[in-house]
Chains A and B, each alone.
Chain A
């Protein structure tokens, strides 16, 4: 029982971590919170669902389709909701936040219109395959989820730390102006960041569909808020923090349901936000940024 809950928690936590990585990338580079991330994630889940259940295509096609669709949405988001606000003098620093909230409301209602309000079944071909490892039952889906998220995290980490583009991204995150002066195409980097973050959201959407078998047009909101909680917990803009925060949240939620009261499961994330912000505002892994005490 304990071990199975542990596996459940790690599976859930790795999905959370992938969602949170999308937030943390955008925050690291742009210093804004992309409130539409949850809705992009939801679209990824729906595109994956359509490909798997309606077109009867294999799972890798669902991932590919979700990545393409959400990457395109990320590009549109950056092009039309964020770029026009950037570099405008006299604007409120909160304007991009509000703008992405607008996008999230729009997307949620588009999904309501297009996909309907009800739950949609997300069937994976190997949903029932499971193994008995000693006393523990492990589902193949869980292994697949874990593998895909680990692959994503490792790939992102390699890309950030070992490639030229990753270096440029980190430089842009450090200082937009300095990076631009040194010849980094910051506009391109910013666009790439939002696109990659959105694509990760799309992958997470398919993963959630695989894990829970149901999706609906409101899942983006809940997941988006949890992603926020995770990056606060782990430290805004910290990749390691997002992964650790995702695992912590996934495990604590699973154990709350297993050994505590399931009704208060959703409160953990938000109570954590409040406690962390008041006691250690930089999060577990972040350094206190100067603007925190502006």
Chain B
């Protein structure tokens, strides 16, 4: 057994089959980037492995759905695996939900340096350097019918550094004190380290954010091991980045000041990531006439068009994907207390908000031929936060329409 320091790369959730989504409009000059972003980010993971002279690459599942990517996904992976093979770098791959072990196309053979863990039970490999054992890699592919437990992973009796590769979430306490030096976990698109110290558990997240909710920097994890102690460092790989930007305005804010705020936020965002194309979701909170104008739509569209024309063409591009005037969390009490249609309306909406079990029958606004069709499922009011969101929007719409000012639906 040797105790040499070494490095390895931990990555997962490539989802090569999944394009960026939840964006209603993609400009022509960014279409190619949207289509290629997942592949570009994945390629950067492999380049990081080569550039850092890593000892091995650990993939923790959800790399691709071979049927949905078409032939490009498997061929891309084979090409990258072969690049690693030329440098003698092995790959240890535990399948996830979309890439179980048996999903790989039978007509394509994986290179010899790729070790795929079986579904539902743990297998181990010992990686050697100059004929001496260097690291022990254990892992299991995801199997919904036969979940793998932390107790299935046994520590090395000789104290060799051990990596456990598994896809899925579990309690951090269950991972603790198992004698596994590094839990290479997968299945989360956000980066997280639930366990630190002599025993580390880490999710590297996806190397490329694919929707506005996956905002911020994404990448893979470079793990440095010295004296059986693992130290994880993030390496950014995303080809484009979703950003949430918030601006607060008040009663006195005018359009010019709002534009200045947008400029400042934009400059701050582009300086933070000078080489990366950005996709920005704007949220304007606060109150005042300008906020009302934004909420009613026409000014929002105008500002969005201005932002896109001003900053959206780069390079690097900072494309504004949406601009939303955030409705207030709650309306003033006097609105609810007034004896008007508006007061009645707001009280009724609040009643619906408080009574989550109240059934809001919207089918009556649909044609009969649609009620039983697929369209009905698209139009059905969901439960939970989306329902609450719709009710909040409805309250604001009612407020706009019934408040006596000119309103446009």
A binds B: no
Please list the residues of chain B having a beta carbon within 8 angstroms of any beta carbon in chain A: none
Please list the residues of chain A having a beta carbon within 8 angstroms of any beta carbon in chain B: none
